[in-house]
Amino acid sequence: MMTKIKFKKTGAKLSEKCGVFGVYCSNENVAEFIFYGLQALQHRGQESAGIAVSDGEDILVFKDLGLVSQVFSEQNLAPLVGSIGIGHTRYSTTGRNIWKNSQPIYRMFKDEVFAIAHNGNLTNTEELRKEQMKRGVRFETTTDTEVIASLIESSERDNMEDAIKEAIGKIKGSYSLLILSKDKLFAIRDPHGFRPLVLGDREGEHIIASETCALDIIDAQFIREVDPGEIIIIDKNGLRSQMMLPVDRVSMCVFELIYFSRPDSYLYNKNIFEIRHKMGQELARECPVEADMVISVPDSGTPAAIGYSAGSKIPYGEGLIKNRYIGRTFILPTQEIREIGVKLKLNPLRDVIKGKRLVVVDDSIVRGNTSKKVVKMLYLAGAKEIHMRISSPPLLHPCYYGIDMATKKDFLANHRTLEDIRKYLNVDSLKYLSIDSLVRAIGEPKDKFCFACFNGDYPVPIPENLQLDKYFMENPDYENEVKVSSNAK
């Protein structure tokens, strides 16, 4: 087995918001497809990237910290010869960015290696880890993915398929999983369907990806979404599917539609750009204002800003130029670096915005750093009025299912009135989209989604230890907790 080893110590707890991509192919060039698939999923994770391939006998893994294009080169892709493979891009904001936490991770089941790539976040990791440790299992990391791998590894079932099914029966929370054995590719989506997972076909070859945009890049056709609770098994006999787990409440993460997924991807056969455009239209209807121009906080606010313009008939303009070579500022680990990050990323078009009454549309406010900096920039550049419009409701509750947005205390909207936030951001007006309008924009029944980050209604119960973690998690930023300032422009 080939691995790149760069071990460092960690005790960090992890939450994963990631991209996964798997291929069952008839030729040996699977690594190349995965490389391109991961490039398309780069927005889902920028901390590390990895590929595992099977040549039918052994599994080779190569992974490292960095963007897909930084991790992989012609040289290290060349030895990854095989016709089945999986890939992963990793994102986390709480866990440290170290090699050991990158995926795919690999383990042994009896005398056979398997590799695993996970997008999501289990809610019963601690409980399972303790049970496993009592059985003598040792862990190298605190990741939930390792817990899943260990459950498979220590299963007493006769074959890997049964071991995987047994492990899946024990885990709770969110998981879109790809597992590679020497001759099979398994794709599993949790019964709530928190994270997306889609099935594609490329001239008879099977592809599984977090999002449809990753199918497009290799000219694969979208076939369907992997159903919540479904396990798909692909091997030399073709594709089999089983509904493994009872589905009592599908609860797809609504934040995928608001922010995370790429606008050119499709969910529920609907284009994400179109959905965000409708969110903008709903926002214009629900939160109108008189202004001269609508601008977005690029890129994530752009579809909703165009929609707001269409709904309000206020012209859309480019007011902020984004440096496309800087990563998502949110992903930068400390508050200090995040603050510089916003300036690195956005610069105002002074001549366009000078003297104008602006509607500024963004998809969400988490800590408020982005909005605060953007507003300051726009006023310094001569904006006459700023009306902030957010195409989602106020974020108030931490996510335990894979989006590591903030601890409860970090949310700007936590314990603040709308007026407090307006003053803090220093804008002339501030409005958020309501949950009902959000649902109208999506055009699907409300009960298909998880809105926990907005309303605290968690579809999978959250154990107390996890809740405490998210509340009191050590965070140096607490000292700099935002002070509500007066409205001084």
Is 367 a binding residue for ligand AMP by CB under 6 A? The answer is yes
Is 330 a binding residue for ligand AMP by CB under 6 A? The answer is yes
For residue 362 the two structure tokens come to: 């963004």
Q: Would you give the DSSP letter of residue 316?
A: B
Of 333, 446, 464, the C-alpha closest to 400 is 464
Can 213 be counted among the known catalytic residues?
A: no
Interacting residue with ligand AMP among 368, 394, 402, 459 (CB under 6 A) = 368
**82 vs 398, which CB is nearer to ligand AMP?**
398
Burial 90-103 (b: 16+ CB within 10 A, else e): bbbbbbbbbbbbbb
- Total residues found in the chain within this entry: 489
Interacting residue with ligand AMP among 102, 145, 261, 369 (CB under 6 A) = 369
DSSP 3-state helix, strand, coil percentages of the chain (rounded to 5)? Answer: 35, 25, 40
Instruction: Fill in the per-residue mask, 388 to 427: x = in contact with ligand AMP (CB under 6 A), - = not in contact.
Output: ---------------x-x----------------------
Q: Position 139: which residue type?
A: F
**43 vs 278, which CB is nearer to ligand AMP?**
43
Which listed residue (18, 25, 287, 453) is catalytic?
18
| Strand duo 266-267 + 48-54: pairing | unpaired
Interacting residue with ligand AMP among 67, 247, 310, 366 (CB under 6 A) = 366
Is 364 a binding residue for ligand AMP by CB under 6 A? The answer is yes
- Tell me how far, at minimum, the Cβ of 291 lies from ligand AMP, in Å: 20
How many residues bind to ligand AMP according to rule CB under 6 A?
Answer: 17
For residue 300 the two structure tokens come to: 């994530």
Compute the distance between CA of residue 445 and CA of residue 47 in angstroms, rounded to an integer: 35
Backbone angles phi, psi at 236, to 5 degrees: -65, -20
Is 300 a binding residue for ligand AMP by CB under 6 A? The answer is yes
**369 vs 437, which CB is nearer to ligand AMP?**
369
Piece of the chain touching ligand AMP by CB under 6 A; list 130-138, 234-242, 344-352, 356-364: 356-364
- Tell me how far, at minimum, the Cβ of 148 lies from ligand AMP, in Å: 23
Hey, which residues does 143 pair with through a beta bridge?
Answer: none
Q: Pseudo-torsion of CA 142, 145, 150, 156, nearest 10°?
A: 150
For residue 437 the two structure tokens come to: 């309008």
Is 362 a binding residue for ligand AMP by CB under 6 A? The answer is yes
Piece of the chain touching ligand AMP by CB under 6 A; list 109-117, 152-160, 185-193, 361-369: 361-369
| Strand duo 252-253 + 449-450: pairing | parallel
Active site residues: 18
Binding site for ligand AMP (CB under 6 A): 259, 297, 300, 328, 330, 362-371, 403, 405
